[in-house]
Amino acid sequence: MSSTPPSFDQLRIASFESRRADDAARMIERFGGVPFVSPSMREAPLEADRSVIEFGHRLITGQIDVVILLTGGGTREMVSRIERHIDRQRFLHALADVNTVARGPKPLAALRELGVTPTIVVPEPNTWREVLSTLDQRLSLANLTVAVQEYGMPNVSLIAGLEARGAAVESFRVYRWELPDDLAPLRANVERIAAGEIDVAMFTSGQQAVNLLHVAREMGLEAELRDGLERTVVASVGPSTSEMLQANGLAVDFEPSHPKLGHLVAECAERAHELLRRKRAVAGSLQTRAPAGQAALKSSAQAPSQPAPRWHDSAFMRACRLEPVAHTPIWLMRQAGRYMQEYRDVRKKTSFLELCRNPQLCSEVMCTAVEKLGVDAAIIFSDLLPILEPMGFELEFAGGDGPQIHNPVRQSGDVDRIVELESTESLHYVFEAVAQTRRDLPEHIPLIGFAGAPFTLASYAVEGGGSRSYLHTKTLMYRHEAAWRELLARLSRSIVRYLNAQIAAGAQAVQLFDSWVGCLSPSDYRRYVLPYVRAVIEGVAVGTPVIHFATGNPALLPLMAEAGGRAIGLDWRVNLAEGWRAVGYERAVQGNLDPAVLLADRDAIYEQAREILTAAGGRAGHIFNLGHGVLPQTPVDNVRALVDFVHEASARDLSC
């Protein structure tokens, strides 16, 4: 430890805060820094979510054994919501009678205000790992019902760990994270970082970074912001914040010895100059070989005074936002595929997996399809399964047999060998394909990234290939529920990192494909799938539309909507009007022509397409698509005729 008092010595410090903006500014000034503090998130109560009220009734009737409280604000909001329906003292007495777990000092302080002494206080750094290890030392959870107060989004790792210990877990939500009411300070910090005017960026919550990236994207400055952060010391208050920063593609340079704001400022002041010199030296050495994704973003970035990129007000993006459009936008799943001669010519020279790993060819086949068909959006050319390779699966695309996994998960112990996708570097070719496609597309055409949903990827991983009965998948799910949940938790966290890396590389929207989930009943979907899909969608960069698509079982639509998504993709097994009612008009819908219709004559195609447009009723938020991918036998001219018909039949005058 140096004898010299720690000092920032006039370094410029951007601090991203929620409730303690004034405290952060004072601390930074005390240690010789120049503070630029911006409130970057706020907690918005979920008044419509009744899970907290249901928890209160179950607690007072003796149906809850353990209550885990993760935040102080959430604890106070919990009582505020419950006391409108249940006598306050009756609820607090019931809370005092069960095992209560406070995740660190903030929920501890809130409980003390309420006159409740917690049974267990989780020590620093207060992550979900400390929650589980502390419970292992103090309390057996086997056959107990555990209620978890969520904070902003579900912690699937904590829930999976509790269930692995034999607990029945219920969770309740009291608030969600939103952008601050006044965005001006946050926008100012985006501009400072992008201009190279900040030396240290401090985060006390990972959600602050998510919101920072969202605001930068809206300003057309995300590329510049990320470039600026490569030359800025990124300081995180602790492990949980660091995990979310890294999941959003931000390298963390510093964590304090204790996850507290005071330690963060003081200890960072001591090391900031050394870290800054080192980071800028590394950034300078890499300047000539910047990642392709950043180059793509930079090419489309706009200064705040310039208009937004043309794709922002495209028919597709406007439909995602439920805004009026001049015509119903249309794009097609597998719109670059075997039905096109240009694609078949490429495939004669290369295997499917080699094509997926060639960014230039991926861009070529997709841009050719967009130009030839006249669609309103492109989707990156890739596959659902490459994400599984760096997670430890031996993947092969065998000619005629489809994808094969040679080391599937069959026993509960097999889950232990699955490597969570901590870094997306091994999938660089996917993100380079995103960046290349974004560069090659016309600017007004949005680019969609995608990933397989947790259940569909898990089914591939367990079955080892295609299946009709999903026998192995359901056997693991029913017999070894703890292992199943751990598998889906690892997959869901990996999918979030994968999708956010695609967004960082230049995708404007993402689609989550749950192609196999239709084999489940609604009750099984709610129990075994919904929490993990919700975690993925809530983990996607704020402001990026997510299209949530599944096939095979229209009864799942209300649950899919509950899991989330800006738009819900409908397959052809449901009438579009009925499907839209099922998911709610506050969401866009995508779909839903039967792909086989494109094998018919033009009159039949037009008739079926007109029925779908009629079912949409001209309501804002309809994206025309097939109910699944284009079939290989489809005549290209029929696809182009469909696109033209949808544009013409749905044309409307927005000036009226």
Architecture of domain 46-178: 3-Layer(aba) Sandwich (3.40)
Q: Where in the chain is the domain with CATH 3.20.20.210?
A: 325-649
Written as one letter, the residue type at 154 is P
Which pLDDT belongs to residue 291?
37
- Residue pointed to by tokens 């597309």: 441
Q: How do beta strands 402-405 and 395-398 pair?
A: antiparallel
In contact, 328 and 613? CB cutoff 8 Å: yes
Which pLDDT belongs to residue 3?
56
Instruction: Write down the catalytic residue from 231, 271, 321, 338.
Output: 338
- Residue pointed to by tokens 């902003």: 152
Instruction: Write down the catalytic residue from 173, 318, 334, 566.
Output: 334
**DSSP3 helix / strand / coil % (the chain, rounded to 5):** 50, 15, 35
Q: What is 325-649's CATH number, 3.60.15.10, 3.20.20.210, 3.10.20.30, 3.30.1490.190?
A: 3.20.20.210
Which pLDDT belongs to residue 615?
96
What stretches in the chain show pLDDT beneath 70? 1-3, 46-49, 152-154, 156, 281-307, 398-401, 655-656
Which pLDDT belongs to residue 255?
87
Instruction: Write down the catalytic residue from 339, 343, 460, 525.
Output: 460
Rounded to 10 degrees, what is the CA torsion of 60, 61, 65, 68? -40
Strands (E), 357-500: 378-379, 395-398, 402-405, 447-452
Write the pLDDT tens digit of every residue in 287-314.
433 333 333 333 333 334 446 788 999 9
Of 581, 655, 640, nearest to 616 by C-alpha is 581
Could you please report the per-residue DSSP string of 356-388? HT-HHHHHHHHHHHHHHHT-S-EE-S--SSGGG
Who contacts 1 (Cβ-Cβ below 8 Å, separation ≥6)? Answer: none
Q: CA–CA separation, 91 vs 85, rounded Å?
A: 10
334 is catalytic: yes
Q: Which two tokens stand for residue 320?
A: 């995602």
Q: What is 12-41+180-290's CATH number, 2.40.340.10, 3.40.50.10090, 3.30.70.260, 3.30.420.40?
A: 3.40.50.10090
Which pLDDT belongs to residue 284?
59
Which pLDDT belongs to residue 49?
65
Instruction: Write down the catalytic residue from 383, 429, 439, 470.
Output: 383
Who contacts 236 (Cβ-Cβ below 8 Å, separation ≥6)? Answer: 203, 242, 245, 252, 254, 255
Q: How do beta strands 509-514 and 447-452 pair?
A: parallel
Instruction: Write down the catalytic residue from 42, 129, 347, 439.
Output: 347
Q: Where in the chain is the domain with CATH 3.40.50.10090?
A: 12-41+180-290, 46-178
199 is catalytic: no
Q: CA–CA separation, 224 vs 227, rounded Å?
A: 5
